[in-house]
């Protein structure tokens, strides 16, 4: 039997695209089962990396590495995830998505299991790479399973939920990762990650997706493009992931990596631009609509990095993960509400307004956070972070639908859209974190210099503060000189804390400005579309009026 032979489908069963499953009619219990498996699989795709990302400081201590070295873990995940998306679409079109997913889930499980016994940074990097490759497949697989849980008339709602499930990984990881660390230190994280991986593998084997069409699509030049594009993206991820830690102008290897990335990616683009059947349709990706969509997603992802700044701000105040748990519960509830609201209101005609509404909420939330002080605690950030979490999940479904609509008309561009969406999501997250961290460091240095400039013992208020801090240690330190030194150190720590608070306020304000600028840009484009849509109607109406006038004149002359 030829697996690539065209199959006969009923009208409602026909797969949307080659490589995607068919859509037979299911009973209600089976639809619910598909929906549950879709949630588990999509959550697994991002939860493992989220658990490591929110606990990098603890992983750094357990692995015994420097701060710059531990930053390789989230960077390697993005490297593998983005690169795999380049081949994943064609792989599932030719061999089926199930084979790819089962293959890499097994690899992911074996790598995670081995890391429990081989304790080192190298094995941790291998686990992140396997997680990134599997996550690229699991996100798509979770979407397909979720779509099977909805009838055809509600398929758009399924798309929003399937994409939104993976967005819940970060707040969920922040809520209970502390308990996992208490169970078995860093091994608790990997035991849970291994369990989720095995659970997803069991669900995929137990409840299979309906079959679909398969076609032969791989060409030899595809692998040449991959051999150039994958290391180019990996070098770019290394620059974005570690630039802030080793500092951009202090490590020469960052410049070499960036130069190598430009050369490799440019070579891959040159090959694809001149192919008859390209893996990446560069001409389509550089159209105004696709460039506008990519920039919109990238800017929104940068705005979403405000959550990274919030964590850094609260940690600068001395709070730990378990003290922020209620805040993450609020963000989780807000994320679920945003996903539900997006699913209920999704419509092709409302995509632009949905994106602008999400940006408005993000701008408002970031602006509220920009007024933080040293008395701010998680309870004062419930509303602002809830708005940001709601908007962050609310926008993802409409963005995906807006770009996927063009794929239905041109299925050959599926790989290009998949890569563009993955790169803007993943690289946008790395870029946002890098920008937030860089701006925070620069502004902290500026505010610190401004504050310290006025701290002199000649000032009576400063001298009184130092004396008071030293007097508090009179019961433990008998030497007046030591008490005075400790008072100076205490004042310096307070100045550093205030400088960090002011720096984070500047970061939040900058993010709010970026959100408002993006909103203004999208609003201007939306109004321009309305104007251009109405403009051709005027000449047509004038022509019709002129014809009617001529007709009346002719009838009068008769």
- The pLDDT tens digits of the residues spanning 172-231 come to 888 887 777 777 677 778 788 888 888 888 888 888 877 776 777 777 887 888 888 889
Contact indicator for 484, 470 with CB cutoff of 8 Å: yes
Q: Which residues pair with 186 in a beta bridge?
A: 184
Contact indicator for 150, 23 with CB cutoff of 8 Å: no
**230 Cβ neighbours under 8 A, 6+ residues apart:** 79, 83, 86
Q: What is the mean pLDDT of the chain?
A: 79
Contact indicator for 209, 148 with CB cutoff of 8 Å: yes
Q: What is the pLDDT of residue 456?
A: 65
pLDDT band at residue 262 using 50, 70 and 90 as cut-offs: very high
Pick from 207-221, 418-432, 470-484: least confident: 470-484
Q: How far apart are CA 31 and CA 37, in angstroms?
A: 10
Tokens 């849970």 belong to: 192
Q: In b/e form, how buried is each residue of 515-551, taking b as 16+ CB within 10 angstroms?
A: bbebbeebeeeeeeeeeeeeeeeeeeeeeeeeeeeee
Confidence check: pLDDT of 346 > 50: yes
Residue 77: count other Cβ atoms within 10 Å of its Cβ: 29
Confidence check: pLDDT of 549 > 50: no
pTM of the model: 0.82
Confidence check: pLDDT of 74 > 60: yes
Query: Which pair of structure tokens corresponds to residue 282?
Result: 């560069």
Phi, then psi, of 129 in degrees rounded to 5: -65, -45
Q: How far apart are CA 79 and CA 68, in angstroms?
A: 17
DSSP 217: -
Q: What is the pLDDT of residue 538?
A: 46
Tokens 């084979």 belong to: 99
Pick from 346-355, 377-386, 422-431, 530-539: least confident: 530-539
Contact indicator for 431, 298 with CB cutoff of 8 Å: yes
Closest by CA to 366, choosing from 159, 173, 504, is: 504
pLDDT band at residue 333 using 50, 70 and 90 as cut-offs: very high
pLDDT band at residue 557 using 50, 70 and 90 as cut-offs: very low
Closest by CA to 305, choosing from 488, 439, 160, is: 439
Q: What is the pLDDT of residue 397?
A: 78
Q: What is the pLDDT of residue 204?
A: 85
Confidence check: pLDDT of 134 > 90: no
Q: What is the pLDDT of residue 256?
A: 92
Q: Which is more confident, 351 or 34? A: 34
Q: What is the pLDDT of residue 263?
A: 92
pLDDT band at residue 260 using 50, 70 and 90 as cut-offs: very high
Residue 151's SS3 state is coil
Q: Which of 227-241, 312-326, 419-433 has the highest mean pLDDT?
A: 227-241
Q: What is the pLDDT of residue 466?
A: 63
Torsion (CA) 539, 544, 549, 554 in degrees, nearest 10: 130
Torsion (CA) 100, 172, 35, 97 in degrees, nearest 10: -10
CA geometry: angle 116, 75, 57, nearest 5 deg: 60
Per-residue pLDDT tens digits for 22-42: 677 778 888 899 889 889 888
Integer CA distances (angstroms), 239 to 45, 235, 246, 282, 314, in order: 24, 6, 10, 24, 26
Q: What is the pLDDT of residue 556?
A: 43
The residue-averaged pLDDT of 318-330 equals: 84
Per-residue pLDDT tens digits for 284-311: 777 777 787 788 778 777 777 777 778 8
Q: Which is more confident, 412 or 49? A: 49
The residue-averaged pLDDT of 62-81 equals: 83
Q: In b/e form, how buried is each residue of 38-58, taking b as 16+ CB within 10 angstroms?
A: bbbbbbbbbbbbbbbbbbeeb
Q: Which is more confident, 93 or 435? A: 435
Q: What is the pLDDT of residue 465?
A: 64
Per-residue pLDDT tens digits for 40-71: 888 888 887 888 888 887 777 777 788 888 88
pLDDT band at residue 540 using 50, 70 and 90 as cut-offs: very low
Contact indicator for 268, 282 with CB cutoff of 8 Å: no
């Amino acid at each position: 039997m030829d697996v690539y032979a065209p199959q006969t489908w009923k009208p409602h069963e026909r797969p949307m695209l080659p490589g995607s499953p068919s859509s037979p009619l299911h009973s209600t219990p089976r639809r619910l089962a598909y929906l549950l498996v879709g949630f588990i699989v999509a959550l697994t795709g991002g939860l493992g990396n989220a658990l490591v990302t929110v606990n990098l400081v603890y992983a750094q201590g357990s692995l015994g590495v420097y701060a710059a070295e531990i930053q390789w873990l989230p960077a390697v995940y993005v490297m593998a995830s983005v690169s795999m998306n380049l081949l994943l679409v064609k792989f599932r079109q030719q061999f089926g998505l199930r084979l790819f997913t089962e293959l890499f889930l097994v690899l992911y499980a074996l790598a995670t299991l081995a890391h429990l016994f081989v304790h080192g940074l190298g094995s941790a990097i291998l686990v992140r790479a396997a997680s990134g490759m599997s996550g690229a497949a699991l996100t798509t697989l979770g979407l397909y399973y979720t779509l099977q849980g909805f009838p055809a008339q509600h398929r758009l709602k399924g798309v929003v939920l399937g994409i939104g499930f993976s967005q819940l990984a970060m707040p969920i990881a922040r809520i209970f990762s502390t308990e996992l660390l208490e169970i078995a230190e860093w091994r608790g994280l990997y035991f849970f990650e291994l369990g989720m991986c095995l659970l997803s593998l069991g669900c995929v084997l137990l409840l299979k997706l309906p079959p679909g069409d398969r076609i032969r699509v791989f060409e030899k030049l595809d692998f040449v493009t991959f051999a150039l594009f994958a290391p180019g993206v990996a070098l770019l991820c290394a620059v974005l992931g570690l630039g802030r830690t080793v500092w951009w102008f202090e490590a020469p290897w960052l410049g070499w990596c960036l130069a190598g990335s430009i050369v490799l990616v440019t070579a891959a683009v040159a090959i694809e631009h001149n192919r008859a059947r390209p893996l990446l349709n560069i001409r389509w990706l550089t159209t105004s609509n696709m460039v506008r969509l990519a920039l919109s997603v990238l800017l929104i992802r940068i705005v979403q990095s405000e959550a990274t700044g919030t964590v850094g701000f609260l940690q600068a105040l001395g709070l730990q993960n378990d003290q922020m748990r209620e805040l993450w519960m609020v963000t989780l509830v807000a994320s679920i509400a945003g996903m539900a609201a997006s699913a209920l209101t999704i419509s092709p005609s409302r995509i632009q307004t949905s994106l602008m509404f999400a940006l408005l909420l993000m701008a408002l939330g970031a602006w509220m956070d920009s007024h933080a002080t040293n008395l701010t605690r998680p309870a004062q950030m419930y509303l602002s972070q809830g708005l940001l979490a709601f908007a962050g999940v609310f926008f993802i479904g409409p963005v995906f639908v807006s770009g996927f609509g063009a794929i239905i008309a041109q299925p050959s561009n599926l790989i290009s859209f998949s890569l563009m969406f993955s790169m803007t999501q993943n690289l946008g997250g790395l870029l946002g974190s890098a920008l937030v961290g860089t701006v925070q460091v620069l502004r902290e240095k500026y505010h610190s210099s401004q504050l310290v400039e006025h701290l002199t013992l000649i000032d009576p208020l400063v001298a009184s503060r130092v004396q008071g801090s030293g007097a508090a240690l009179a019961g433990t330190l008998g030497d007046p000189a030591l008490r005075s030194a400790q008072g100076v150190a205490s004042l310096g720590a307070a100045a550093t804390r205030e400088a960090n608070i002011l720096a984070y306020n500047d970061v939040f304000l900058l993010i709010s400005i970026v959100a408002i600028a993006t909103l203004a840009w999208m609003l201007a484009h939306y109004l321009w579309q309305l104007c251009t849509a109405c403009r051709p109607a005027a000449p047509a109406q004038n022509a019709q009026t002129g014809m009617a006038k001529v007709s009346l004149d002719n009838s009068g002359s008769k």
